[in-house]
């Protein structure tokens, strides 16, 4: 229960409720919605701010990109008392009806990444906590956001999706795997949700994911404006609102 090696936080530094952006630079954007927010630690890809919402300690900790660093963040946050982890990230659309700026709440994730397989076989599902899904849906509705809930896919290689025609394995397979996931009604892709869900389930944590769609099906790049501060505001507000809902529900359950 000492200071954690990677995130450089110790017991008391973070609240039980933590929002998890990938980009360390987004932690300050999230913390701006907290009361009395302060920078706790910065190390490698991990930046942590802590403040309060409705008088309850809450935090934002960046995970970096991909499953390995996400698993480390989840493990170390769990070790110092966090029990509710919600990823706040970006994603690429896998359905034509999704537009830039839409929000996607992950009900479950395809485990198309390598980290979760180091914990448990692929037959184990990567699913979000029902509490977090409902809280995220409630918050998104209250904001009037265009939001969808369903299955997302987590992978390890971003440019396999952005530039599939350049990937040798796709030539062997006869086409991009993205089409298969699209036909299976997977909504969008990211790189962290599946790992977060599996690690959290194994450690007894509540976990959720809300994603901002930043490129359409077939786009070969991500436009900076699609993932800029203004675009991120909606997904951050939805995530913060979900924490308020969870805080209220948890308090009511203790009465």
CB atoms within 10 A of CB 218: 11
Q: 48: burial class by Cβ within 10 Å (0-12, 13-18, 19+)? A: buried
Give the confidence band of 178 by pLDDT, cuts at 50, 70, 90. Answer: confident
Give the confidence band of 175 by pLDDT, cuts at 50, 70, 90. Answer: low
Domain residue limits, the chain: 17-253
Per-residue model confidence (pLDDT) at position 165: 81
Expressed in angstroms, the distance from the first to the final Cα of the chain is 30
Q: Are strands 46-53 and 56-61 parallel, antiparallel or unpaired?
A: antiparallel
Pick the CATH number of 17-253 from 3.10.450.50, 3.40.50.2300, 3.40.50.1580, 3.40.50.720: 3.40.50.1580
Mean pLDDT value across residues 169-188: 82
Q: Are strands 147-155 and 188-190 parallel, antiparallel or unpaired?
A: parallel
How does pLDDT run across 35-67, given as a tens digit for each residue?
Answer: 999 999 999 999 999 999 999 999 999 999 999
How does pLDDT run across 181-192, given as a tens digit for each residue?
Answer: 999 999 999 999
| In the predicted structure, residue 171 carries a pLDDT above the cut 90 | no
Give the confidence band of 223 by pLDDT, cuts at 50, 70, 90. Answer: confident
Per-residue model confidence (pLDDT) at position 174: 63
| In the predicted structure, residue 1 carries a pLDDT above the cut 70 | no
DSSP state of 57: E
Per-residue model confidence (pLDDT) at position 172: 67
**How much is the mean pLDDT over the chain?**
94
């Amino acid at each position: 229960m000492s200071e954690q090696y990677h995130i450089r936080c110790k017991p008391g530094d973070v609240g039980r409720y933590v929002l998890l952006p990938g980009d360390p630079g987004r932690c300050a954007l999230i913390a701006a919605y907290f009361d009395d927010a302060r920078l706790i630690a910065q190390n490698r890809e991990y930046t942590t701010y802590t403040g309060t919402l409705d008088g309850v300690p809450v935090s934002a900790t960046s995970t970096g990109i991909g499953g390995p660093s996400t698993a480390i963040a989840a493990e170390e946050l769990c070790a110092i008392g966090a029990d509710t982890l919600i990823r706040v990230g970006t994603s690429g659309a896998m359905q034509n009806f999704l537009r830039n700026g839409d929000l996607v709440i992950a009900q479950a994730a395809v485990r198309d990444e390598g980290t979760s397989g180091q914990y448990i076989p692929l037959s184990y599902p990567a699913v979000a906590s029902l509490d977090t899904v409902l809280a995220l849906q409630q918050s998104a509705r209250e904001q009037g956001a265009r939001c969808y809930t369903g299955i997302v896919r987590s992978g390890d290689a971003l440019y396999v999706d952005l530039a599939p025609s350049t990937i040798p394995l796709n030539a062997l397979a006869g086409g991009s795997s993205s089409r298969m996931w699209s036909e299976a009604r997977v909504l969008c892709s990211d790189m962290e949700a599946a790992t977060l869900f599996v690690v959290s389930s194994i450690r007894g944590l509540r976990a959720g994911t809300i994603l901002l769609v930043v490129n359409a099906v077939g786009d070969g790049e991500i436009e900076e404006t699609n993932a800029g501060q203004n675009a991120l505001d909606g997904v951050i507000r939805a995530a913060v609102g979900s924490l308020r809902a969870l805080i209220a529900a948890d308090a009511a359950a203790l009465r």
